[in-house]
């Protein structure tokens, strides 16, 4: 989900309240919708689950006066074209996302995630825009937050990596608790909105001219109170699970390359989106082939005679063998190119096969061969060939 889509999200519409609804009205609407769409009441209903998460997200923003104000302002700015594509103050980095180059996808999880290492809410995004110089303290509690990204590694054979392969990956990582669907509350019960902070997770305190907000003690910043914690996850909404996922590795992947699998990382806490999974691919070297970018390299042993007279060699490729013509008079170490027989590319085409010829010198010959070689050297000299003519100043 892009940042634009996120701002286009209508939290008011999601909760079915007007844009000037009071906190009480918002809480009331949330409680009804959360109950109606609770996964316990709608087993297997993905639309209800989506709604359940969406109304939680909407509530968590609208219930917090500071966040709500920022959200309203952002939407107003957005509607008036204040967020230009690129160049504006809303590009990654400027708003505190950190990392990343241009053109990277940005999804809603990043808002609640640990971009920048913090435990930020929506304020992190708009912080750079609206809170310049502000020192608002973020609650350090366990409000819904995106799951962590997970990194793992897989090792592939050379040919698997070049041709593409589907591999099973076993992962042990925290996942959404299956018993409570990530809510943290015992099945049949729901978390209730924290009465002290009205679900905001922070309480405001006024001292003189300054207002401070600090994490709510009653709910430890989560905004909700679980009276009956789920026993399987002890109220965290997260369980450690071993799962096997199937990863399709595209053709042409090279050693050290990373593959991103969106949403396959750690489960988010209490219904928040999951993190991403990054798989670093290790490629085992091959006995025959090497790689240079999209080109496949192979070194083929040849005899001196084959280089002098020319020959057609049968060379292995990733896909059967190919006949490669060595022209007469080819020098040792020459590289012959076979177009389109290299590593497959994303575009559907392939790199080239680069064949290096390398003279193999016989270590043991029988008498007739040795005699013939002596005779040949004489004839070579007689025909005027001197391998060291012009060499080393001679």
Where along the sequence are the contacts to Zn ion (CB under 5 A)? 177, 179-180, 194, 196-197, 216, 218-219, 230, 232-233
216/353 with CB nearer Zn ion? 216
Residue 124: phi, psi to the nearest 5? -60, -35
As measured in angstroms, the least distance from the Cβ of 237 to Zn ion is 6
As measured in angstroms, the least distance from the Cβ of 230 to Zn ion is 3
217/386 with CB nearer Zn ion? 217
39/95 with CB nearer Zn ion? 39
- 3-class SS of residue 278: strand
What is the C-alpha to C-alpha distance for residues 343 and 317, in angstroms, rounded to an integer? 10
As measured in angstroms, the least distance from the Cβ of 89 to Zn ion is 32
As measured in angstroms, the least distance from the Cβ of 122 to Zn ion is 17
Cβ–Cβ under 8 Å, residues 321 and 315: yes
143/341 with CB nearer Zn ion? 143
What is the C-alpha to C-alpha distance for residues 95 and 115, in angstroms, rounded to an integer? 11
What is the C-alpha to C-alpha distance for residues 219 and 196, in angstroms, rounded to an integer? 8
197/324 with CB nearer Zn ion? 197
Burial (CB < 10 A; 0-12, 13-18, 19+), residue 48, is: middle
Determine which helix (DSSP H) or strand (DSSP E) holds 305, and give its type and residue range. helix 304-309
End-to-end Cα distance, the chain: 73
Cβ–Cβ under 8 Å, residues 276 and 297: no
As measured in angstroms, the least distance from the Cβ of 199 to Zn ion is 7
As measured in angstroms, the least distance from the Cβ of 240 to Zn ion is 12
189/299 with CB nearer Zn ion? 189
């Amino acid at each position: 989900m892009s940042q634009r889509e996120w701002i286009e999200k209508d939290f008011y519409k999601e909760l079915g309240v007007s844009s000037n609804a009071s906190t009480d009205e918002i809480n009331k609407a949330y409680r009804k919708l959360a109950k109606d769409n609770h996964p316990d009441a709608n087993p297997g209903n993905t639309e209800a689950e989506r709604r359940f998460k969406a109304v939680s997200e909407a509530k968590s923003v609208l219930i917090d006066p500071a966040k709500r104000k920022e959200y309203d302002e952002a939407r107003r700015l957005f509607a008036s074209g204040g967020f230009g594509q690129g160049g504006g103050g809303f590009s990654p980095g400027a708003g505190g996302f950190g990392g990343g180059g241009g053109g990277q996808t940005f999804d809603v999880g990043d808002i609640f995630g640990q971009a920048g290492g913090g435990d930020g809410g929506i304020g992190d995004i708009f912080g750079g825009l609206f809170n310049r110089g502000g020192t608002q303290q973020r609650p350090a509690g366990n409000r819904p937050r995106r799951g962590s990204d997970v990194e793992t590694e897989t090792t592939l054979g050379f040919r698997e990596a070049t041709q593409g392969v589907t591999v099973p990956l076993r992962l042990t990582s925290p996942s959404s608790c299956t018993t409570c669907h990530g809510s943290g509350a015992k099945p049949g019960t729901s978390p209730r909105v924290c009465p002290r902070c009205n679900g905001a997770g922070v309480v405001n305190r006024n001292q003189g001219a300054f207002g401070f907000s600090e994490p709510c003690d009653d709910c430890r910043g989560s905004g909700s109170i679980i009276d009956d914690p789920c026993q399987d996850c002890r109220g965290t909404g997260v369980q450690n699970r071993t799962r096997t996922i199937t990863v399709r590795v595209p053709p042409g992947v090279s050693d050290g390359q990373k593959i991103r699998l969106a949403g396959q990382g750690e489960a988010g806490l209490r219904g928040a989106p999951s993190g991403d999974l990054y798989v670093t691919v290790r490629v085992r070297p091959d006995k025959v082939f090497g790689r240079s970018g999209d080109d496949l390299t192979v070194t083929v042993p040849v005899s001196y005679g084959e280089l002098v007279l020319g020959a057609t060699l049968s060379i292995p490729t990733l896909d059967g063998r190919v006949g490669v013509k060595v022209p007469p008079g080819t020098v040792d170490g020459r590289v012959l190119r076979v177009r389109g027989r290299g590593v497959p590319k994303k575009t559907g085409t392939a790199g080239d096969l680069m064949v290096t010829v390398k003279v193999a010198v016989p270590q043991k010959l029988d008498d007739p061969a040795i005699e013939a070689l002596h005779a040949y050297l004489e004839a070579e000299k007689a025909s005027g060939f001197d391998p060291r003519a012009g060499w080393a100043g001679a």
